[in-house]
Chains A and B, each alone.
Chain A
Amino acid sequence: MIHTDLCIIGAGPVGLFAVFEAGLLKMRCHVMDVLPQIGGQLSEIYPKKPIYDIPGYPVVLAQELVDNLAKQIEPFNPSFTLGERVEKIERQEDESFILETNEGTQCHAKAVVIAGGLGCFEPRKPALDRLESFEGKGVDYMVRNPEKYINRKVVIAGGGDSALDWTIYLAEHVEELTLVHRGSSFRGAPDSAEKVLKLAEEGKLKLMLNSQVSELKGEQLLNECTITNKAGETETVSTDFFIPLFGLSPKLGPIANWNLNLDKNAIEVNVEDYSTNVPGVYAIGDINQYPGKLKLILSGFHEAALMAQSAYRVVSGGKKASLKYTTVNGIQTF
């Protein structure tokens, strides 16, 4: 079990900055996110877009801001659990919390900070019968461990960059690879599209354009995909894995079950310290709601600072934090 002062759910910009504000008050942080990388919406939806409303930066690219936030919190040595969704928060008798992820990782924390943004980023799933019954038994929505596919038969579906990138990578490692794409051409990075076409010409993969996977077959494990083209013709491909790569979209997810007061998918908070109706649990950033709320990175940063002052009292058993400017003391690490 991981032990920490603050467990922060969500590694978006606001969760990351919360580590900094907590660190200044000498609180240790553990950060959990369902995405395999930090950065939340900035890294997942718009990494290359310029942002103009961060004080002190006339312009900064979203991913650059995330990289800088990561650098800014380095001195405080936060720990991370990435690629796992926080499912449960349980309040203990001593008023601390145990959090548990879908993979069974547990974290014991004196206080919890929910910086869950728009919720969990979850894979977009094609509408196919039996899809969910094959999850983990041949259907994967992310390539986490490419070694798993070595010398196996794989069908990838999708036409975006991640479908193209994994197709290029896996073509060299699997026994048989099929790429199924609904359109007639790829609009992703031209360079990747060219590579995929070349691999298909060389016979290293089977390319099925204007087509969709229409049926999954198998007893316990997946062993066949039926693919239907626009003309209605079908073909059955024997396969061990089906990997639909259609990107991710945010869903509120387990946060809805944590007995928090919600208003339209957002957590109601007290604006004095961004505490929720559960003592010791805070909600900051896009996930919270109060009169006048602005869903901006800047607002989340401000909320993180106020949260930290209040959480310090919880973590230190009632002591009040005294405000010290970093200009006076510098960054004091542990």
Chain B
Amino acid sequence: MDIKIHVEEADGQFNTIEAPTDMGLSLMEILKASEYPVAATCGGMALCASCHVEILDNTYDEEANDAEMDMLDTLPVVSDSSRLACQMPLTDDMDGIRVRLMAEASME
């Protein structure tokens, strides 16, 4: 099925992107494909944190894996809802999820 992902824009408004859940994509990959400025330097290996996002609703409760927690632990600015988008495979449960790209993600 296709799910909807709401991405916060600079002005606080949300833009909705649609994403398939049967192609094995991660949230990072769909953000990149939708031309959000996610550098994803390490190609999705939880090594660079350049895909750092905040999940803005508390319905998503998949636990972060060890590699992801290790990386998040090294960042200067994180919140309890910080995640690495490359470590989040798209699933049907994520339909309607709201995310914010963190500064670390952008390609300045």
Contact = CB atoms under 8 A, between A and B. Distances in A.
Contacts of A158: 74, 76
B108 A182 contact: no
Contact of A126 (B66, B70, B76, B108): B76
A252 interface: yes
A69 B49 CA distance: 28
Interface in B54-104: 66, 69-70, 73-78, 104
B76 A118 contact: no
Given A45-B47, A45-B48, A46-B47, A124 B75 contact: yes
Given A118-B41, A187-B66, A250-B41, A159 B47 contact: no
Contacts, number: 52
Interface string A108-133: 00000000001000001111000000
Given A45-B42, A124-B104, A249-B50, A187 B73 contact: yes
Given A249-B49, A252-B108, A265-B107, A45 B76 contact: no
Nearest to A124: B76
Contact of A247 (B45, B66, B69, B74): B74
Indicate the size class of the contact surface on chain A. Answer: 20 to 34
Interface string A240-266: 000010110111100000000000010
A218 interface: no
Contacts of B66: 187
Interface string B35-52: 000000110010111100
A125 B73 contact: no
Nearest to B42: A45
A158 B76 CA distance: 7
A160 interface: yes
A244 B104 CA distance: 16
Contacts of A188: 70, 73
Nearest to B49: A249
A249 B70 contact: no
Contact of B48 (A157, A249, A251): A249
7 contacts: A45-B48, A124-B76, A126-B77, A159-B73, A159-B74, A244-B76, A246-B76
Interface of A: 41, 45-46, 49, 118, 124-127, 157-160, 182-183, 186-188, 244, 246-247, 249-252, 265
